[in-house]
Chain A
Amino acid sequence: GAVVSQHPSRVICKSGTSVKIECRSLDFQATTMFWYRQFPKKSLMLMATSNEGSKATYEQGVEKDKFLINHASLTLSTLTVTSAHPEDSSFYICSAIPRGNEQFFGPGTRLTVL
């Protein structure tokens, strides 16, 4: 099956700093990747659609200057949380579609902002 990895799996940072999360498709190319956010005991909320070689498409209410997405290659998308604050603490999950309509998810990244 298709494998999606995320790095780091867990990160703790100080308020005001920026954090970069990587999402990689290991055995397939993905022109489209998705970034989700999940609060404790809650569902996944789509933040943005990452398109290789073009600007990301953000969902309503998601600050694009806060959550910078770069999809520079067919196997890598990055999410940078800029000037992070405690309210940005969450579980961030990426996904990619190798074929058809089945999304494969990364293992997630737990971000804690102190």
Chain B
Amino acid sequence: AQTVTQSQPEMSVQEAETVTLSCTYDTSESNYYLFWYKQPPSRQMILVIRQEAYKQQNATENRFSVNFQKAAKSFSLKISDSQLGDTAMYFCAFGGGGAQKLVFGQGTRLTINP
């Protein structure tokens, strides 16, 4: 079974700083997807960024980028120029190639301070 581990329960940075959230996973599959989701106080899950395992190039979405290390099974999220609106719970998730089910990590509560 797949597992996803987020070792940072909480993080706090100043506005405009860069912050990196860690995520490791374990799987025996070769074809899979990795995701970072944001859950603000409204509790609506929002997709931040997605990475296909077969792609070597790290995904980027504006201020958000990932460092995908397939051999190490590591998938960290970097938020550049952090904004107050980035304050939320962030979940790393693993999606198998066929089943489409998601396995979530424990989450990291990120607070951006003014």
Contacts and interface: CB of A to CB of B under 8 A. Distances in A.
**Are A and B genuine complex partners?**
yes
B43 A101 contact: no
Number of contact residues on A: which range applies?
Answer: 10 to 19
Contacts of B102: 34, 44, 46, 95, 103
B33 interface: yes
Interface in A22-67: 32, 34, 38, 42-46, 49
A84 to B, nearest CB: 20
A87 interface: no
Contact of B42 (A32, A97, A107): A107
B44 interface: yes
Contact of B43 (A46, A91, A95, A103): A91
B77 to A, nearest CB: 16
Interface in A86-114: 91, 93, 95, 97, 101-103, 105, 107-108
A101 B95 contact: yes
Main secondary structure of the interface of B (DSSP, over half): loop
B101 interface: yes
Contacts of B100: 32, 97, 101, 103
B91 A108 contact: no
B111 to A, nearest CB: 14
11 contacts: A42-B106, A43-B91, A44-B104, A45-B104, A46-B102, A93-B43, A93-B45, A95-B45, A95-B102, A103-B47, A105-B44
Interface of B: 33, 42-45, 47, 50, 91, 95, 99-107
